[in-house]
Amino acid sequence: MMKLANIELRNNLIMSAVKTGYADSDGNISERHLAFWDKRSKHVAAVIFEPFFIDKKVRELPTQIGIDNDNKIETHKRLVETVHKNGAKAVAHINHPGRMANPKLPGNIHVSASDIECPNGGPKPKALTIDEIKSVQQQFIDAAIRSEKAGYDFIELQFGLGYLIAQFISPNSNKRTDQYGGSFENRIRFGLETLRGIKSAVTLPVIVRISGDEKYESGLTINDAIHIAKVIEQEGVAAIHVTSGDACMSAPWYYQHHFIPKGKTWELSKKIKENVSLPIIAVGQVNEPEDIEEILANNAADFIAIGRALIADPDFIGKYLNLVEGRIRPCSSCLTGCLGRIKIGKSLQCEINPLVGRELEEITQASEIKNYAVVGGGLAGMQSALALKQRGHRVTLFEKDKLGGQFNFAPLPSQKHSLKKQIDYFVEEIKEKQIKVLNKEATTEDLIGKYDGVIIATGSKPFIPNIDGLTEYNWAEILYEFNLPKNKNVVVIGGGLIGVEIANTLVDYGNKVTIVEMLEDIARDMEMVTRKLNLMKLKKANVKVYTNSKVTKIDGRSLYLVQTNGSEKEIKLDNIDIYVVAAGMRPNKELIEKLEGKIPYYIAGDADKIGDAVSAIQSGYFLAKEL
């Protein structure tokens, strides 16, 4: 047992706040919320729930949980009771985004310390008047009072990540000349008054979250964060939760993207811990047991907050503590299913865990045991095979090359090596569950009359456009170490996710790269933060990009293209050493045509519809779940 503000916790591992998008448009808690956090609260010390909005007009998501009126207290009680019955404490994270409120939500307002918009985009906010400041502070206090009535054990108050209180603290966003601007003491006044108001209104201990470094030029640094921490310490708070980044200016750090070096945020928590006597909570890409051990061994924190690893595997903590058997389903910090799905208006999902947000749809035993073949050992195929085995069926998996299929290319681009953990997980699970694997291409003779049914997970094939003179070309296999060219002149035909990732890896090896894309933009199918990072890298490497352009002919080392935006203009590119074709994918339906009418078959993953890893794994799981 450990204590935080005289409240006993069963360990020092906390679930950090993750946005789910499971609420309705009024911000009410749903059954999906209860099921999601029920699964994840069985072994953690406490759960910090997603940011609760304190005013419906300042939401970050259209489906965000609210604590903005008394009518919501009863459903919050249910959420608290859900984690309490599992032995975990409940933390209400209350926040106001200020100028970072979602501009796409009708009725949203944008306010801040000053009328300075986010330099990276967004509407110009209104500078809060003194009366409006008092009103917002009262909203925080009212939300805290509701939290106490609902039975929460702690309040977490956001002082960092570029949200409203941080907008007052930062001199970049605060140009006020009254008592809330100018000196550091004035700029932190709004936050301190809010904190004091909460502490005077409720008896709940308050955790304060800060950015140990905002991670952009002229942003608040670790020295500023230490100063803030020392001031907060004098206010009698329970703990300081140290993160990094700014929602406006340094999104990769804010989201802890896998492009960010793991451990850098823990270094910030260590420095703050060395300067205050308060308990410190570390966070940021804690997704392997070794990460927990490293933080504790380095005395970087007293408590550790874990978010996405618990999305990928609800039993991550239970398995780390040897309370739950089984292999940890790994998080690779890819953001594809979690942030990526939320940003396109869908709810929280996960690239590797198909049950996120669908926790009540677990597999049950089949009433009749059958003999199934799964053709294709990519993500959809391996997940199908595992789900069929879990149902109790007999399973044979056919894979003509290597388990992992085309996802074996996914870890090859620069800074995406963590994705290999996903392949390794499935391969090891296939082996442990003793699923029979045949390393051969499945034929009709292998299948018809020998199985009760077939899951076709043959994936997709690269689409090769009909270009005059295109005879020698590469695809993603160029990224294998033994294939990687150096100091060559390369043209990538196609500017989607695959083409852009290939280009960004090739520039690391001194290659001069040009991208030709038929549509008006590149990297359209990338997750938002990943896209921005890739485009920045392309620009820095002076990669030439031709959009609205179609390759018409290749003549040896010369390529001809026509730009189609407006008047057509032919351009000739010379001295090209290597052509890479990344013009999209097409479902591989060859086996489907051969099996039609001869054996029951079911289609999973890209063989049915081109998608990403999230849709492939979900397709395999939920298809097999019904067989």
16 DSSP 8-state letter: P
Q: Can you tell me the distance from the alpha carbon of 110 to that of 123, in angstroms, rounded to the nearest whole number? A: 7
CA atoms 26, 37, 49, 237: torsion sign? positive
304 SS3 class: strand
* Residue 163 annotated to the active site: yes
Residue 498 identity: I
> What DSSP element (H or E) covers 618?
helix 613-625
Read off φ and ψ for residue 65, nearest 5 degrees. -70, 135
- On whether the CB atoms of residues 428 and 420 are closer than 8 A, the answer is no
Q: Can you tell me the distance from the alpha carbon of 31 to that of 10, in angstroms, rounded to the nearest whole number? A: 26
Take residue 287 and report the two structure tokens written for it: 């997704």
**544-546 β-sheet, strand order:** 544-546, 512-516, 489-493, 578-581
- On whether the CB atoms of residues 387 and 363 are closer than 8 A, the answer is yes
**453-456 β-sheet, strand order:** 436-438, 394-398, 371-375, 453-456, 601-603
Residue 484 identity: L
- On whether the CB atoms of residues 41 and 82 are closer than 8 A, the answer is yes
Q: Can you tell me the distance from the alpha carbon of 76 to that of 68, in angstroms, rounded to the nearest whole number? A: 12
Q: Can you tell me the distance from the alpha carbon of 304 to that of 281, in angstroms, rounded to the nearest whole number? A: 5
Take residue 534 and report the two structure tokens written for it: 């890739």
Q: What is each CA distance from 24 to 33, 35, 64, 341, 479, in whole angstroms? A: 11, 16, 8, 17, 44
Helices (H), 397-527: 420-432, 444-447, 497-506
Residue 163 identity: Y
Q: What is each CA distance from 147 to 152, 231, 241, 393, in whole angstroms? A: 6, 25, 19, 48
Please name every residue paired with 423 in a beta bridge, in sequence order, or none if there are none: none
Q: Can you tell me the distance from the alpha carbon of 69 to that of 215, in angstroms, rounded to the nearest whole number? A: 35
Q: What is each CA distance from 57 to 53, 98, 521, in whole angstroms? A: 9, 10, 33
Q: Which of 341, 332, 389, 381 is nearest to 365 (CA)?
A: 389
Given the residues 152, 163, 254, 372, select the one marked as catalytic.
163
455 DSSP 8-state letter: E
- In sequence order, the 6+-apart residues with CB closer than 8 A to the CB of 487 are 509, 510, 511
Q: Kindly report the number of other CB atoms within 10 A of residue 73's CB atom.
A: 16
- On whether the CB atoms of residues 448 and 442 are closer than 8 A, the answer is no
445-479: burial string, b at 16+ Cβ within 10 Å, e else = ebbeeebebbbbbbbbebeeeebeebeebbbbebb
Q: Can you tell me the distance from the alpha carbon of 337 to that of 353, in angstroms, rounded to the nearest whole number? A: 9
Q: Known catalytic residues? A: 163
